[in-house]
Amino acid sequence: MSEVIRLPDVGGDGEVIEIMVAVGDRVEAEQSILVLESDKASMEVPCPRAGTIKALKFKLGDRLKEGDELLELDVDAGEDSTAAAADSEPAPAAASEPAEKPASAPEPAPTQVQTEKPAPTALPTSAPAESARVHAGPAVRRLARELGVDLGRVEPSGPHQRILKEDVQGFVRSALQSPGAGGGAGIEPIPSIDFSRFGETEIREMTRLQQLGAANLHRSWLNVPHVTQFDQADITELEAFRLAEKTAADQAGVKLTLLPFLISACARLLEEMPEFNVSLLGDGKRLVQKKYVHIGFAVDTPDGLLVPVIRDAGHKGLLQLAAEAAELAEKARNKKLGSDAMQGACFTITSLGHIGGSGFTPIVNAPEVAILGVSRASHQPVWDGAAFQPRLMLPLSLSYDHRAINGAAAARFTRRLGELLGDVRRMLL
């Protein structure tokens, strides 16, 4: 007897990140057929009946919701007829707890250092061949690649020796906390303190985005020899031009801020100074020269920092850049930004001008080799040769990887950036 199996109530919709069966496979009742990833968790979805799969109704990357067709199943003749009614009932357990962590399974200890596989003194930059043979879904493998983790060294805690995202994150925490890794050069890690001895405390979990960001920033800080070049740009005329074009921008349905000018100027400079548009290969001896110019910009969201990317930024006008940046920032804040929209940047801009401050040291977003930090512009007296004139000055902080860029090049970059921002007509030359 042929039967269509549908997705039960799993507490919301989700994306198919792994398909665990194929047409023609025979499955047992409660055997997992796919892995669904929601905004909160990953879960395996079981088949409620035993039988042979005649057709799959979904593919990798599909977003499924309750009631969507999963597969057509040729049900075994001996199956209890009453099971069909049970199939239509919701599965409340799946909504409250991911299927990857059944109640009978012991809770993993993510911060415990593995005794069989000791934490390395540094996270490997590439995963060796054995990582391909471990049991992990595409999302977990992607996370491992982003963090430079060899999945072959990660202890699984999921069913059937499956590696979960929590296992990868726990491995990173263990590696960073081990002597010689977290502090670098054998420096002891920061000791644990019972802060409740001094007053009332509360333990709050970091969001997944904050955890990933912390690991990425720590890795970049330990691996990249940072230097920061500080400068100022006179944007008096640029600000006058921006305000004068407010009506045109409103008619185009966009808000013309300083960001599009910065993106356009930096894209121009990456073409003029290609040594800033490179990445170092893992051997530390070769550079990848990029022939494209994609600019990332940091967006502050309630869950943490995201960096969407504007592609081919040098080929777009100010109004187009303003519209695209606003759209990407809105998606980032509403958790609708896909992973592809945050990949491929050649250079990153991070701005604190809307908050305040006169300068800061941004951390290079490796594998990029430079990042521009922008603080709040302020009116300052500037000597013009005859008298002091009030000018609107914008603080610039350019952090760079000293392995790829020398100090003279960084100083030329900020000076040239000041020239472009000081006279917007230069961007047209």
Cα 297 to Cα 151: distance, rounded to the nearest angstrom: 30
Catalytic (active-site) positions: 402
All residues at 6 or more sequence positions from 275 whose CB lies less than 8 Å from its CB, including other chains: 404, 405, 409
What kind and span of H or E run contains 175? helix 165-177
Return phi, psi of residue 426, to 5°: -65, -25
- Do you find a cis peptide bond into 98, omega within 30 degrees of 0? no
Cα 153 to Cα 113: distance, rounded to the nearest angstrom: 11
Instruction: Answer yes or no: are the C-beta atoms of 145 and 172 closer than 8 Å.
Output: no
Q: Residue 43: which of 130, 127, 165 has the closest Cα?
A: 165
Cα 362 to Cα 385: distance, rounded to the nearest angstrom: 34
Task: Indicate the length of the chain as a whole number.
Answer: 429
Cα 117 to Cα 67: distance, rounded to the nearest angstrom: 43
Cα 357 to Cα 362: distance, rounded to the nearest angstrom: 13
Q: Residue 261: which of 75, 424, 53 has the closest Cα?
A: 424
Distances in Å between the Cα of 197 and the Cα atoms of 54, 189, 192, 201, 204 are 63, 21, 13, 9, 18
All residues at 6 or more sequence positions from 231 whose CB lies less than 8 Å from its CB, including other chains: 395, 396, 398, 411, 414, 415, 417, 418
